[in-house]
Structure 1
Amino acid sequence: MDNKEVYVLVHSAWLGGWQWDNIAESLRLKGHEVIAPDLPGHGIDDTLPKDITMDDYVDKLIGILDKQKCSVILVGHSFNGITISRVAELRPSKIKSLVYLTAFLLPNGGSFYEAVKEVGNSIAVDNFEVSNDRTYAVVKEEELQNAFAHDISAEIFEGAKPHIVREPLAPLMYELEITDKNFEKIPKYYIETTEDKAIPIDIQRSMYKGKVLKVYSIKSSHTPNFSSPQKVVEALLDVAEEQKKINLIQSHLKVYNNIKFHRLFSNEDQLLAHFESMEGNESYAHMLLFENSMENKIHTVVQKVPDNQLGGHTMFDGASTSTPDNTEENKNIIERFLKDVWIEGKVSIIQDFFEEGKVIQHNPMVEDNVEGLFEFMKSLSSQGISLHYDEVLAIFAKGDMVMTYSKGFIGEEKHFFADLFRLKNGKIAEHWDVIQKK
């Protein structure tokens, strides 16, 4: 099988590699290789909790990755989102994608123990107990199923119960060590569980916001591997398809180094990437639109990221995923916006496209809101410079995200403009752009 992937599936706290049995079987039937190890102290590994640290978990996984001839899709469930993050930092070249299954996606310095202090309305957290000798942790037995697997039968849960182990405490206290150079460059995906009583959905969303390329949503408890295994399989297979899109883009970007993807969207005919590259100590912003036609057209715009950026935002932060809302309507709104305001110069109607003049602005020279845009235009005008679009050359739309590729002028100089808009309730809510002199 030419498109065979290697999936390394890392179980949650208290469980073991056995939790992936149904999912692993389905992936193998699709022709993929699956490795679902027991971390120390879990499954058939009988290492005592007192003898286990995060280094032991990490070393186990690194040992597996180092034996692979190709890079893998590394999946972490629940607590072990922290573990796969650390492994990614140490072996970035061995990992093509990271997948967090209702997992802890924490920043540098974060720990499970500190993170759960901020979690409310969690049956798991409310019933979390540490042993008197502080070597392991448990969740009260009477609340185990309600906390983690309320949507499977009591009979199935009782069958799994003998395999649940005491969770070593030291890894739970570990403070994550990751860097932009290694960890941040790896594409990330999140599988959220909306009925979760261990990590409530609002906590999941706060952890992955702005950090992942795509989110998969499952109506499930904290253990969709038991209650909705086929949904998990579908998500993992789709991650492999997303990776193919990244591979396609990278095949056209061999001249760029240290690429980090911030946004990746596709529809039936187009593929849009918003990414960053590094040349020495300088950062460059890119938008690339790939049109899957007979000609396979590629529209790309590159801009050096300035040292100082206004508005408290960067050219890359903000919403990173799309919502499946009103694609055609949103596309039409942006087409009118560019035609009426930027091509025909009807600046007086610009407020019609924003909710009370509010917009999050990622152009490094422009403050937030329409007022910030007016100030920028006034500044250009005071220097005798005008900004004018001539023609929209291509447009992409997916849900609430719309991107346009245009040509025009800044002063007397020709430029290409790549603009990405996020819309909410028919109004522009957020804007990124990349501008390149022709």
Structure 2
Amino acid sequence: MATYVLIHGAAADAWYWGPLAAELRGRGHEVIAPDLPCGDESAGLGAYADAVVAAIGDRSELVVVAHSFGGFTGPLVCARVPVDLLVMLQAQIPAPGETPGAWWDTTGYGGARQEADRRRGVPEGTEEDPVTLYLHDTSAELAAELLTHHQQPQAAAPFGDPWPLDAWPQVPTEVLLSAGDRFFPVEFMRRLAVERLGIEPDEMPGDHLPMLGHPEELAERLEAYRAAL
């Protein structure tokens, strides 16, 4: 039995991991999905990692799954506790010393996003609604639940924190992308994974939150990674 540690992204709580957590528990695993201090203006990246490490306690056989902004926290956790596997799920991949606030420019996100939007016929400057941008492959019921009850105010504090590691932690790492994500276009995310980690990522169906739209397939992908260790 493994312990899956699920790290959520910005401006949200851990609720959105629920369908995936149910799939993993159904396979006999323990699941930890702590809420991060998104609303705390004094909480930097270290405090986000502290929250995850505290939730882990003395558990072992850890598989850490970091999603979106959780990509800045997941490797920090791996540097502090023994982890068997880190999965970067449609996650931001940081570089040493880079702040989350600077990540958008240093990675070339803006140009990549404009090109992806152009290819799907979105006029430049269009502000898309959250369902169209993030949740188009999620059921209307789950999308409404997330947007109505589980969006959180996001403090600015962690976005000015330089990522503190000198190098990627020595932990087996996989990168899994959502092929249909319109917010983090898959071509951009693939390039980043290759450039920064030397990893050719895998793809699965889904929007920005594949744990809501495709929890069974996501569980199967995670289990396959774990079995291959």
Pick the aligned partner of 1:82 from 72, 89, 102.
72
Partners of 1:213 and 1:68 in 2: CA distance: 30
Deviations 1:256-289 (A, max 9, x none): xxxxxxxxxxxxxxxxxxxxxxxxxxxxxxxxxx
Checking the alignment, whether the CA contact within 8 Å between 1:189 and 1:212 is kept in structure 2 is: no
For 2:64 and 2:194, locate their aligned partners in 1 and report how far apart those are by CA, in whole Å. Answer: 20
Note if 1:33 corresponds to 2:30: yes
The corresponding residue for 1:57 is 48
For 1:14 and 1:110, locate their aligned partners in 2 and report how far apart those are by CA, in whole Å.
20
Question: Is 1:220 aligned to residue 210 of structure 2?
Answer: no
Aligned to 1:116: 104
Offset at residue 236 of structure 1 (A): 0.9
Give TM-score scaled by structure 2 length.
0.84
Asked whether the 8 Å contact 1:78–1:102 carries over to 2, the reply is yes
Who is 2:88 aligned against? 100
Say which SS state the counterpart of residue 60 (structure 1) adopts.
helix
Q: How does 1:253-292 map to 2 (within 5 A)?
A: none
- The aligned residue for residue 9 of structure 1 is 6
Q: Which amino acid aligns with 2:164?
A: E
| 2:45/2:163 contact within 8 Å kept | no
CA distance in 2, matches of 1:225, 1:234: 12
Unaligned runs of 5+ in 1: 42-47, 127-140, 244-438
Aligned partners of 1:225 and 1:107: how far apart in 2?
Answer: 26
1:15 counterpart SS class: coil
Find the counterpart in structure 2 of residue 70 from structure 1. Answer: 60
CA distance in structure 1 between the partners assigned to 2:74 and 2:142 by the alignment: 28
Measured in 2, the distance between the counterparts of 1:238 and 1:215 equals: 14
TM-superposed CA distance for 1:100, in Å, is: 0.4
Query: 2:222, 2:42 → 1: CA distance?
Result: 33
Higher relative contact order (CA 8 A, sep 6+): 2
Say whether the 8 Å CA contact 1:216–1:235 is kept in structure 2: no
Shift of 1:213: 5.9
Match of 2:155 among 159, 165, 168: 168
- Give 1:61 deviation, angstroms: 1.2
Conservation of the 8 A alpha-carbon contact between 2:190 and 2:200: no
**Which residue identity is paired with 1:145?**
V
CA displacement at 1:155 relative to structure 2: 3.9
Contact map agreement 2:20 2:212 (CA 8 A) in 1: no
Structure 2 vs 1, CA of residues 203 and 174 (structure 1 numbering), >3 Å: closer, same or farther? farther
Flag the 1:153–1:23 CA change in 2: closer, same or farther, 3 A: closer
1:49–1:166: 8 Å Cα contact kept in structure 2? no
Question: Deviations along 1:43-63, whole A, 9 cap, x unmatched?
Answer: xxxxx4323222221111122
Which of the residues 229, 239, 245 maps onto 2:215? 229
| Residues 28 and 34, structure 1, Cα contact 8 Å, conserved in 2 | yes
Tell whether the 8 Å contact from 1:89 to 1:179 is kept in structure 2 after alignment.
Answer: no
Superposed displacement of residue 214, structure 1: 6.5
How many correspondences in the alignment?
214
1:357-376 matches, cutoff 5 A: none
User: Does the Cα contact within 8 Å between 2:113 and 2:185 map onto a contact in 1?
Assistant: yes
Residue 28 (structure 1) shift: 0.8
Using a 3 Å threshold, how does the CA distance of structure 1 residues 26 and 212 change in structure 2: closer, same or farther? farther
Shift of 1:199: 1.1
1:115-158 alpha-carbon deviations (Å, 9 max, x no partner): 212213548xx9xxxxxxxxxxxxxx962222211222444322
CA 1:168–1:122: 2 relative to 1, 3 Å? farther
- In the alignment, is the contact (CA less than 8 A) between 2:85 and 2:173 conserved in 1? yes
Shift of 1:89: 2.4
Q: Where is the helix percentage greater, Structure 1 or Structure 2?
A: 2
**CA distance 1:73–1:214, shift in 2 (3 Å):** farther
The equivalent residue for 1:431 is none
What is the percent sequence identity of the aligned residues?
Answer: 26
Q: Which residue of 1 aligns with 2:124?
A: none
